[in-house]
A and B are shown apart, each in its own frame.
Chain A
């Protein structure tokens, strides 16, 4: 299969542009002025300790978390936010958010497949219901994606009858089905038994090789080092270190990043 084509317009500029993002949960500051850009074909890994804000940053891109301040642009289109009468930041136009969300393929830590739909139904749901693709076309593409993630045999199974690794591969196919501009992976292997991690990483690695644009939150350091074009290390809601995988993993400037990377390498 050819490289993943995206829906929405092809942009010359960055696909993702985040400027000075701030997010608080109550008194706790989770993101404290984060900026990042990603271009077509980039594989950006977000690493850092638990609670450093990397998942929150990813979830701010599709407004599953609403940032308090800052700017998020997807394919050059800024997500418009406003302050409501309770003083909360909310999307100015929910339809715009829904439209942009169809260009972002999200893969969750807990898979979050819809359990009452079969594998195939999970994959064609959004293309058919939201993107209004003809059903036959959506099914054909879904079958190609299932082939790609090695799940063709389970086409008509319900997610509850699959292993975690199989569910996550289906979840990746579901996210690819909308031909997203960017794939967002939120710790895709953290909920898996150790022996199932490999099959999921293989699928992600294949996507990276095809030139699929991805943002990846992960604790798999060697994997991040292998597939990424850029690695960001987050600490206390700030980007503490960023650069090529070699730079971040072998010659980090920041002391904290050095400690984190070393500790992780000892583990594996």
Chain B
């Protein structure tokens, strides 16, 4: 038994440790990039839904509906293969050499676009939770729209949005594994290689599950701190 554990440790940590670590890092990078892109898209779309004119609202609604309806996996395949085809077709028109779509950029873009749809709904709900009088006070003192957004709406909606955004982040860490279908070396893809070449399927898949769990626990700790800081002005119930 002891010998087996020693052997397992040797394989996972000594032989594949660096590769797995690099994979985990890539997973976190993809997730973080997509989270930021998603937040920015979500913010713009939420504002469009709340205060845009009719055509803008329709567009925003169409975006959130479609991106929440189509499987992320399909969107990744679509953007990666169809997207690189389209880019190369355009490049050919201008007699330029074809390019390979960077897997990282594709992952961040696709996941960000999907996350944006969910983030938009979370942010929209959080903004609507702000009593309108607070926004009206800002108007009544001559703060323009931009200042009101930056100084009142965004900071005040954060406590209401945080739980939903934390959820989104957790889902994102796991969704980033989908990018392995286009052969990009993130955590799960690396693990598949390790498991396949050593034939230690159980060992490696359990190890990677533990890594995902660890990342999630760490994220949780960070979000708890955020929440405490964002809620400091709210009296406890």
Question: Could you tell me which A residues sit within 8 Å of B by CB distance?
Answer: 62, 64, 94, 97-102, 104, 106, 108, 110, 112-117, 125-126, 129-130, 158-161, 175, 178
Contact = CB atoms under 8 A, between A and B. Distances in A.
B143 A130 contact: yes
Nearest to A127: B141
A129 B143 CA distance: 8
A114 B143 contact: no
A129 B140 contact: no
Given A129-B147, A158-B233, A160-B233, A114 B152 contact: yes
A110 B133 contact: yes
B234 interface: yes
Given A101-B142, A106-B141, A160-B234, 11 more contacts: A104-B140, A106-B140, A108-B133, A114-B152, A115-B134, A115-B234, A129-B151, A130-B141, A130-B143, A158-B232, A159-B233
Contact of A115 (B138, B139, B156): B156
A130 B142 contact: yes
Nearest to B141: A126
Given A108-B133, A112-B133, A114-B134, A64 B233 contact: no
B54 to A, nearest CB: 11
A110 B232 CA distance: 22
A130 B137 contact: no
Contacts of A64: 136, 139-140
B136 A112 contact: yes
B183 interface: no
Contacts of B142: 97-102, 126, 130
B152 A130 contact: no
A134 B136 CA distance: 25
Interface in B219-237: 232-235
Contacts of A159: 233
B235 A161 contact: yes
A162 to B, nearest CB: 10
Interface string B125-152: 0000001011011111111100100011
Contacts of B136: 64, 108, 112
B141 A102 contact: yes
Contacts of A112: 131, 133-134, 136-137
Nearest to B233: A158
